[in-house]
Amino acid sequence: MKEITAELQGLNVGKVKENEPLASHTTIKIGGPADLYIEPSSVENLTKVMTIINNHQLNWRAIGRGSNLLVSDKGIEGAVIKLGPGIGHLDINGTEITVGGGHSLVSLSTLISRKGLSGLEFASGIPGSAGGAVYMNAGAHGSDISKVLTKAHILFADGTMKWLTNEEMEFSYRTSILQKKRPGIVVEAVFQLSAGERNEITSLMQKNKDYRKVTQPWNFPCAGSIFRNPLPNYAGQLIESAGLKGYRIGGAEISSMHGNFIVNAGNATAGDVLALIQHVKDKIYSLYQIKMETEVEIIGRK
């Protein structure tokens, strides 16, 4: 690993660290170390990073702002590539915007609302990156990324880059082709928005934010929704009806505000969260014969 680290640092690709604790890079504040942590300073440097990773046949994983992610206490083998501000460019051309994968989704929705552009109001409270949102087809308030994305520029594992259209992304509920078939990094995305009345847009965004504040535990470290909604049922309602709100294992606790959120109530480990997830699965199945599936992505050493 020292050789790869030295090679990356020699190319001045951005931040390069060994054994970087990933608890510092996830919204739930949990996660062991990455063997190698890389935060490229530009798209060009990201491609250099991928070339070196491939040359050394190193396992890799991309992350954005670390939401919707649970990292093992034992950390991640290989490299973790974080898309940060260096890949956070934004270009606005009328009602079409092109945004870098590392751009904050909350910041993006706020910026474009001030310009009277409508279509991303639903994203005003989603604490992820633009690239991560495309990767998992993030959504809320009855809308999602698939409703506005035109195309996405993807860096694939073999180092090639290609634009995929909305159809080629194969979006479904909180899923895209990048999760199902072709691992890749969302370098940038193009969204087609519509012109709207600025005050109406900002008012709706504020309404969405206020709703999240009173219904979701954003005052505690958390990873967002833990389970997919087993439609026509809703995960939070099932968990609440099972009497599991407030149930705790170690430092992990099912939020008393929303049943589909597990919060880090104090020095929680990934093991605590996984045990709590399994308890919920067992309880819901025993009561309702419904199999719960996680929405949060669980990664790292077993």
| Catalytic residue ranges | 174, 225, 295
> Which parts of 206-295 are beta strand (E)?
222-225, 248-249, 252-254, 261-264
Q: At what angle do helices 2-10 and 43-55 cross, to 10 degrees?
A: 150
- Measured between alpha carbons, how far is residue 155 from residues 5, 9, 24, 120, 147 in Å? 21, 21, 25, 24, 22
Is the CB of residue 71 less than 8 Å from the CB of residue 22? yes
Please give the backbone phi and psi of residue 87, each rounded to the nearest 5 degrees, phi first: -120, 50
Is the CB of residue 102 less than 8 Å from the CB of residue 83? yes
Beta-bridge mates of residue 97: 92, 191
- Tokens representing 195 are 């012109």
Contacts of residue 103, Cβ cutoff 8 Å, sequence gap at least 6: 87, 88, 89, 90, 129, 130, 131
Place of tokens 């890799």: 60
Strand order across the beta sheet in which 222-225 lies: 222-225, 261-264, 252-254, 248-249
DSSP 123: G
DSSP 30: -
User: Which three-class secondary structure state does DSSP give residue 96?
Assistant: strand
- Tokens representing 190 are 């193009």
